[in-house]
A and B are shown apart, each in its own frame.
Chain A
Amino acid sequence: MGMGYAEHGGHGGQVAGGRSVTSLVADPRRPADVSVTLAAGKERFRLPSGRAFDGFTLNGGSPGPVIRATLGQLVEVRLVNGSVPDGITLHWHGVDVPNAADGVAGVTQDAVRIGEEHVYRFIADQAGTFWYHSHQMSHEQVRGGLLGALVVTPPEQPAETVDVVALVHLYDGVRTVNGNEGDVRVTVPPGKRARVRIVNTDNGPMSAWVGGASYRLVAVDGTDLNRPDPVRDTGVLVTAGGRADVEVTMPEDGSPVRVHLGGTTAVVLGSKSYDAPVVRPPATTLDLLSYGMRASLGFDPNRPDRRFDYDIGRRPGFLRGRPGLWWTVNGSIFPDVPMFVVNEGDVVRMRISNHSGDVHPMHLHGHHAVVLSRNGIPAAGSPWWVDSLNVADGESYEIAFVADNPGIWMDHCHNLPHAAEGLVAHLMYEGVTTPFMIGGTEGNEPE
């Protein structure tokens, strides 16, 4: 199966000398600083909440272990398939890894079959909150729990900040935080700070809000925001696949703070007491278009080398021979979708617009893009870098990024059933080729 028609975004296409995705790797001579082995299984098991679940495990449980690295370290993960019949991969969501480590079955590797293994190597070159998940049959395997959190911290950790991972996942429709239902208690002394790293691993956006203290949204999608102000009575929308780091300074009187994660679950920060009252979801949502202070982007998005449209619609038609109402990219149904072709070093501008009747969390692999405007209104706050962007029905975003990570990269909806329904495009560097195939004898099914 092809990957769509080439779209050059205002540049002629010329094929430079071929490079295989398999050659785009981290320095193979450099030893690993962080080594992890993850063994995957398909089984019935107990979640940390105690509930039994039929799904996928990593090292015997789900979610998989939190992988922690310090900025600049080389992370090496050995993935072993113990018993997943369809095969597996791991994608490092939000980490701009070398292409060979991107973990997309049929694009950057073959799915790892039972008894086989695959090694991922990348440098943790950005401090922030990330996650990993299978990108083989991802609409099934992510739902089924083949995922975990990845946290990269700066070498000099801000002292006296309690670091809390809050990986949110729905197992059989039941919302959990790190696999637990209800309240997850974390001890934070009065006057001290906590950084709650919210990861939305589900297929739709969720809201987070804080009761008992003000908070600052200090990072989005693994990128720190510039000078974020404290806010109160305001919610944060975390899109599917997206991350939001919420920083709370604990009240001096020792009263607890409740960080609501979508209603039924919460992280409760406290010391003497964890009796934080439930608060209603706030009426206002933090608008990142005007939050924090402006700062340099490090490149000029006003003189792009390429301009692309990623226009999402919906119409009746046939997808792989099946009649139905299907998503369209620039008017056509998969596989008649664009492949955005770039050269290394290009400044790329992309307009993502959505008139499909549903929200789409758009996820670009291997790059972070900065939001320039929404519905024509220019961004006026902190640089807002995303790898997962919530594009609601009727919205239109201008984003820009520098093509600085050669490879073949998916650019798709992270509502994974939508991706399986054809809401997928690719970003393709001139001259990069892949020996892998979607479908074929290896049975690679990235969506």
Chain B
Amino acid sequence: MVAVYRISAIAVMVEVAIQSMSVVFGIAGQGKWIQEGGVLDKAVIEAREFVFPEVIGYLIHGLNGTILIPLTALILLVSSFFTKVPGAVKWASLVLLAVAVQITLGMSASGLPVLGALHGLNALLLLGAAFYAARLVRRSRTADQGDRLASRA
């Protein structure tokens, strides 16, 4: 279970990286399209078409953010109960909490754009929490091995 815990924590970090990459990819593609004469309004957004290919970035951001990341964070929390590593449950809970906050901020940002800024900031907090969780089990595993080595000696 320690391995599951560690892998899901790392997976959250990777997914957060994908999130920041995909959304900027989308924004950049949109900028290029507008430079070339494209016009974006609500009707075009609601057409749900690939008016520029980088729309895929927004799509990945949405699917990854609302399905994959919450699922990974959930796996992290479930596995944390079986690791028997002090602090594992706490850090997994913090990761899940940050994910919930992140989704809420993202969904509300179009009504109150300043929440979008907090969405960007909270991404770093989420990354930090996932990083700490991953390190936590590595540290305790090294400690485990150290103990075993010590007892063998």
A→B interface (CB under 8 Å): 143, 170, 172-175, 200, 202-207, 240, 262-264, 325, 357, 359, 393-394, 415, 417
A-B contact pairs, 11 of them (CB 8 A): A143-B47, A170-B43, A172-B49, A173-B44, A175-B44, A204-B42, A262-B39, A262-B44, A263-B41, A264-B39, A417-B48
Additional A-B contact list (12), CB under 8 Å, known A170-B47, A206-B42, A417-B46? A173-B50, A173-B51, A174-B51, A203-B47, A204-B44, A204-B46, A205-B43, A262-B39, A262-B41, A264-B38, A359-B42, A394-B111
Interface string of B96-117 (1 = CB under 8 A from A): 0000000000011011000000
In the bound complex, how far is the Cα of B111 from the Cα of A170, in angstroms? Answer: 26
In the bound complex, how far is the Cα of B110 from the Cα of A387, in angstroms? Answer: 27
In the bound complex, how far is the Cα of B49 from the Cα of A417, in angstroms? Answer: 13
Q: A200 with B48: in contact, given A264-B37, A357-B108 (CB under 8 Å)?
A: no
Closest B residue to A207 by CB, please name it.
Answer: B41
In the bound complex, how far is the Cα of B80 from the Cα of A418, in angstroms? Answer: 39
Q: Which positions 37-87 of chain B face chain A at CB distance < 8 Å?
A: 37-39, 41-51, 66
Interface size class on chain B is 10 to 19
B→A interface (CB under 8 Å): 37-39, 41-51, 66, 107-108, 110-111
In the bound complex, how far is the Cα of B113 from the Cα of A188, in angstroms? Answer: 44
Closest A residue to B48 by CB, please name it.
Answer: A417
- Tell me whether chain B's interface is mostly helix, strand or loop, or mixed: loop
Tell me if A200 and B47 are in contact (CB < 8 A): no
Tell me if A202 and B37 are in contact (CB < 8 A): no
In the complex, what residues of A have CB within 8 A of residue B108's CB? 357
In the complex, what residues of B have CB within 8 A of residue A175's CB? 39, 43-44
In the bound complex, how far is the Cα of B41 from the Cα of A393, in angstroms? Answer: 16
In the complex, what residues of B have CB within 8 A of residue A202's CB? 43, 46-47
In the bound complex, how far is the Cα of B49 from the Cα of A206, in angstroms? Answer: 16
Query: Which of B42, B51, B110 has the largest number of chain A CB atoms within 10 A?
Result: B42
In the bound complex, how far is the Cα of B108 from the Cα of A415, in angstroms? Answer: 20
Tell me if A262 and B111 are in contact (CB < 8 A): no
| A96 nearest CB across to chain B (Å) | 26
In the complex, what residues of A have CB within 8 A of residue B37's CB? 264
In the bound complex, how far is the Cα of B39 from the Cα of A432, in angstroms? Answer: 46
| B63 nearest CB across to chain A (Å) | 12
In the complex, what residues of A have CB within 8 A of residue B45's CB? 204
Tell me if A357 and B51 are in contact (CB < 8 A): no
In the bound complex, how far is the Cα of B51 from the Cα of A129, in angstroms? Answer: 29
In the bound complex, how far is the Cα of B110 from the Cα of A394, in angstroms? Answer: 12
In the bound complex, how far is the Cα of B43 from the Cα of A203, in angstroms? Answer: 6
| A262 nearest CB across to chain B (Å) | 6
Closest A residue to B107 by CB, please name it.
Answer: A357
In the complex, what residues of B have CB within 8 A of residue A143's CB? 47
| A104 nearest CB across to chain B (Å) | 22
Closest A residue to B39 by CB, please name it.
Answer: A263
Query: Which of B45, B49, B107, B110 has the largest number of chain A CB atoms within 10 A?
Result: B49
